Amino acid sequence: MPTFAATDGTALAYHLRGEGAPLAVLPGGPMRASGYLGDLGGLTAHRRLALLDLRGTGESGTPPDPASYRCDRMVDDVERWRDHLGLERIDLLAHSAAGSLALLYAARHPHRIRRLVLVTPNPSALGMRATPGERLAAARLRADEPWFGRAFPAYRAWLAGDSDFDEVFLPFFYGRWDDTARAHAEHEEAQTNEEAAGHYFAEGAFTPDATRAALAALTAPVLIHAGEYDGGPCPALARRVAEALSGAEVSVQPGAGHYPWLDDPAHFVRRVLAFLGEDADPSR
C-alpha cells in the first residue's frame, strides 16, 4: 500500500487496483474509507484506479489538527497526491461528499484536471445542497417497494430534524435493496470517521461565489452522473450543478440510487468510460 506525506506531515495512503491509465478517485461519506468504492462496478478492467484514503480514514494517518478535516483544507492533500503520482494532469472521479472537494480542487488547480467525473455529488462548494423536499420526492418514487411503508415515515422525520438516523430507511440510498446493497451498507459505520465528518462541512469551508468565479478557468470536460432514484442530488439538482460549470454534461442512470456502480455496474462503466474517451469492450 503506497503512502505519501501531506504538507503537515500526515501520512496519506492510497490503493491501486486494476490496469491501464490512472484514474484518481476521491471517496465521499463524508470521511469514509475508500474501500466502499470497491472496483467501481468493474472499472478496474479498463483503468488503474488510485483510491485515496482521506486523512483520518482507512489506512491514512490521523492529522495533528482536527480542523484539517475541513473540506477546503484537504485540497492541498489532493494536489500533493497528484504530484506524488507524477501526473501533470489527472482524470479525477469523486463520489458524493467528495464532489465538493473535487470542485474546490478544480477551482484552485483548473489546469491540473484532464477530465472530471462527479458521481452523485454533493455540490455544497457551489452553494447548493439537496433539500428535504427533493429527497422526499425521490423517496416517493419507491412507493411500490415492500419496505416503503416502514421506511418513509422514519426518513421524513429524520429530514425534518425530529429523529436520529435510522437504518430502516437505508434502502432509499440504493436503487435495489438486495443482498449486495445490504452488505455494502453494513460496513458504512466501520468505514467512516464520524469525528472527522463533523468537521468536513464546517463553517468557512466554502465560498461559493469565489469558487464559481474560479471555475470559469476550468476548460476540462466535466460529467455529472446522477441516479434516477437518488435524492441527493436528484437529477434536477445535478442539472443545476452542470449549469454552473461551463460545458458540463449530465447523465442520469435509470433505476440507480446514490451508489450507481452497485445498481447496474455495466451501465455505470459504459457511461464513465465513454466520457473518458475509452471503449468498454471487456475483450480489449
Q: Provide the pairing of β-strand 3-5 with 90-95.
A: unpaired
Q: Is the pLDDT of residue 255 over 50?
A: yes
Averaged pLDDT score across all residues of the chain:
96
Average pLDDT of the residues in 113-128: 98
Average pLDDT of the residues in 240-247: 92
Report the pLDDT value the prediction gives residue 180, as an integer from 0 to 100: 97
Radius of gyration, alpha carbons of the chain: 18
Report the pLDDT value the prediction gives residue 282, as an integer from 0 to 100: 46
Q: Give the global pTM.
A: 0.96
pLDDT > 70 fraction of the chain, expressed in percent and rounded: 98
Q: Which of 117, 118, 152 is nearest to 135 (CA)?
A: 152
CA 137 vs CA 50, 66, 153, 202, 230: distances in Å: 35, 36, 13, 27, 10
Average pLDDT of the residues in 133-152: 98
Q: Is the pLDDT of residue 166 over 70?
A: yes
Report the pLDDT value the prediction gives residue 280, as an integer from 0 to 100: 58
Average pLDDT of the residues in 92-106: 98
Provide the 3-class DSSP secondary structure of residue 188. Answer: helix
Burial class (CB in 10 A: 0-12, 13-18, 19+), 45: middle
Q: How far apart are CA 126 and CA 123, in angstroms?
A: 6
Average pLDDT of the residues in 57-75: 98
Q: Is the pLDDT of residue 185 over 80?
A: yes
- Cell readout for 201 is 462541512
Report the pLDDT value the prediction gives residue 137, as an integer from 0 to 100: 98
Q: How far apart are CA 160 and CA 182, in angstroms?
A: 25
Residue carrying the nine cell digits 447548493 = 128
Q: Which residue has the higher pLDDT, 90 or 283?
A: 90
Q: How far apart are CA 69 and CA 198, in angstroms?
A: 9
The number of angstroms, rounded, from the C-alpha of 47 to the middle of its chain's C-alpha atoms is 18
pLDDT band at 284 (very low <50, low <70, confident <90, very high): very low
Average pLDDT of the residues in 86-94: 98
Beta-carbon contacts of 157 under 8 Å, excluding residues fewer than 6 positions away, are 163
Average pLDDT of the residues in 168-172: 98
Q: Is the pLDDT of residue 16 over 70?
A: yes
Report the pLDDT value the prediction gives residue 247, as an integer from 0 to 100: 80
Q: pLDDT digits over 191-221, tens only?
A: 999 999 999 999 999 999 999 999 999 999 9
Burial class (CB in 10 A: 0-12, 13-18, 19+), 277: exposed
Report the pLDDT value the prediction gives residue 281, as an integer from 0 to 100: 54
